[in-house]
Amino acid sequence: MSGQTLYDKLWARHVVHEEADGTVLLYIDRHLVHEVTSPQAFEGLKLAGRAPWRIDSVVATADHNTPTDHWERGILDPISRLQVETLDANIKEFGARAYFPFRDPRQGIVHVIGPEQGATLPGMTVVCGDSHTSTHGAFGALAHGIGTSEVEHVLATQCLVAKKSKNMLVRVDGELPAGVTAKDMALAVIGRIGTAGGTGYAIEFGGAAVRALSMEGRMTLCNLAIEAGARSGMVAVDQTTIDYLKGRPLAPAGADWARAVDDWRTLVSDADAAFDATVVLDAAEIVPQVTWGTSPEMVCGVDGQVPDPARETDPTRREGLERALHYMGLAPYTPIGEIAVDKVFIGSCTNSRIEDLRAAAAVARGRKKADSVRQVLVVPGSGLVKAQAEAEGLHRIFLDAGFEWREPGCSMCLAMNADRLEPGERCAATSNRNFEGRQGQGGRTHLVSPAMAAAAAVTGHFVDIRTF
């Protein structure tokens, strides 16, 4: 009998009950909550007269609707304000292990503050009403997004009704070249297997290039597992994981710390574990990636060009390509380096951590925003990331370059607040989705790494960061 994968181990640790058809009650250790997908769940709980099962599993924040400037004015949009106030009221009524409301110095994007606070630990099941919950798998946790009915189900029962996924290993061998990041690695994987390539799978990212990533890089990689169709992505625990967690506010301390570390070190796939699918990439061959279409799989290297739909033989795919190029306002065979941008967005749960801001600042240092670029938004992932960046003087570099230095939140990744693209505007974005209308109706999104976004901001078009 072959050994267990990391996913097998995490799954087995959390099975409370199993039915004959394989449907499982899976215990949930950490429930992250934000304002958009929770109001109907709390309302459902109240209407049914149910109490939360274990409210100290909940860590909550407001991030999607919050403005990123002029916090002294509060939230101007009354509908957004009501949603954030509804979360305030629900947490006040039901409680939480920790709550970081709008304007709290530790407030931020839920997938940034969870790890930052030590609320995400190896061996946990972590859920949130948000698809990018896969981020937390970077810690050797089983983490995935859920819908609002499931948010209510977890609040009421501390369990999810679940079916086990298949195991996929994405192994990235070798060493990433200078200037090539976890973001490029993730986009290269999505380009290879497609946005549905991971559907039905839990992906474990392994190989030397993944082991060499910082926790920030691993979070970026796991964050994008959902864009490959996999609800959860994960990386095995190693010293990098343990070093990151030590001393975090919600991480274990004292005698518990040593016990926990001993346990966490077992959270790796066994050497003889069997995967249902394996994908292998050579890190040395990955170049900085730029998406050119309206799905994250529509991606190529910065040295590439926009493809020609006429060369696609499958009619549904060809129509999809034609529609994407029409929406993006791009002609076949356009070199990526000739695509000019109107706006740049550096932020989101994918790329707003301190390492991301350092990478962007390293490019922006001593340079100026191109005149043709209307706006460059730098939105830190949390209040603590913002404070750290300011302690390092990164905000000065951004401001001197003509970039805007904002308050933390989801911001222009999904444009639920006032930060958005106007119709036809083209944006280099460090976020995770280039769907039609994602950053604002009619907006055109190109997904890139933070350094690539900063380089586009100062030149006005995409450039190869390796030779910049």
Partner 1 sequence: MRAFTTLDGLVCPLDRANVDTDAIIPKQFLKSIKRAGFGPNLFDEWRYLDHGEPGMDNSRRPLNRDFVLNMPRFQGAEILLARENFGCGSSREHAPWALEDYGFRAVIAPSFADIFFNNCYKNGLLPIVLSASAVDRLFVECATHLDYRLAVDLDKQTVSTPSGLHYHFDITAHRKHCLLNGLDEIGLTLRHADKIRAFEATIAAERPWLR
Please, which of residues 238-297 interact with partner 1 by CB under 8 A? 252, 256-257, 259-260, 263, 295
Min CB(150)–partner 1 separation in Å: 7
User: By CB under 8 A, is residue 79 in contact with partner 1?
Assistant: yes
> What does the per-residue mask of binding to partner 1 show for 207-226, with x meaning CB under 8 A?
-------------------x
Spell out the residues 6+ positions from residue 26 whose beta carbon is closer than 8 angstroms to its own. Answer: 11, 14, 15, 16, 125, 159, 160, 161, 162
Exactly one of 156, 340, 387, 418 binds partner 1 (CB under 8 A); that residue is 156
> What does the per-residue mask of binding to partner 1 show for 179-198, with x meaning CB under 8 A?
----------------xx--
User: By CB under 8 A, is residue 48 in contact with partner 1?
Assistant: yes
CA distance 32 to 139: 15
CA distance 447 to 285: 19
Q: Of 135, 77, 91, which is closest to residue 110 (Cα–Cα)?
A: 135
Q: Can you read off the two tokens belonging to residue 241?
A: 């994981």
Residue 369: how many other CB atoms lie within 10 Å:
21
CA distance 190 to 220: 13
Exactly one of 1, 22, 49, 371 binds partner 1 (CB under 8 A); that residue is 22
Point out which span in 144-152, 179-187, 216-224, 449-457 binds partner 1 (CB under 8 A): 144-152
Residues from 373 through 402 that contact partner 1 (CB under 8 A):
none
The Cα-based distances of 432 to 249, 254, 277, 324, 352 in angstroms read 28, 38, 24, 17, 12
Exactly one of 4, 5, 68, 80 binds partner 1 (CB under 8 A); that residue is 80
Exactly one of 2, 149, 266, 278 binds partner 1 (CB under 8 A); that residue is 149
Exactly one of 177, 337, 437, 460 binds partner 1 (CB under 8 A); that residue is 437
Note the helical H segments in 341-416: 354-364, 383-391, 394-400
Point out which span in 4-12, 156-164, 266-274, 367-375 binds partner 1 (CB under 8 A): 156-164
Point out which span in 22-30, 271-279, 280-288, 448-456 binds partner 1 (CB under 8 A): 22-30
Exactly one of 7, 9, 29, 185 binds partner 1 (CB under 8 A); that residue is 29
Min CB(324)–partner 1 separation in Å: 10
User: By CB under 8 A, is residue 145 in contact with partner 1?
Assistant: yes
The Cα-based distances of 325 to 88, 120, 297, 443, 447 in angstroms read 43, 40, 14, 13, 15
Residues from 85 through 124 that contact partner 1 (CB under 8 A):
86, 121, 123-124
Min CB(162)–partner 1 separation in Å: 9
For tokens 């290879």, the residue is 192
The Cα-based distances of 142 to 10, 14, 201, 217, 236 in angstroms read 6, 10, 12, 18, 11
User: By CB under 8 A, is residue 158 in contact with partner 1?
Assistant: yes
Exactly one of 150, 184, 216, 342 binds partner 1 (CB under 8 A); that residue is 150
Spell out the residues 6+ positions from residue 400 whose beta carbon is closer than 8 angstroms to its own. Answer: none
User: By CB under 8 A, is residue 415 in contact with partner 1?
Assistant: yes
Q: Can you read off the two tokens belonging to residue 338?
A: 């000739």
Would you say 194 or 304 has its CB closer to partner 1?
194
Would you say 133 or 289 has its CB closer to partner 1?
133
Spell out the residues 6+ positions from residue 369 whose beta carbon is closer than 8 angstroms to its own. Answer: 376, 401, 402, 403, 457, 458
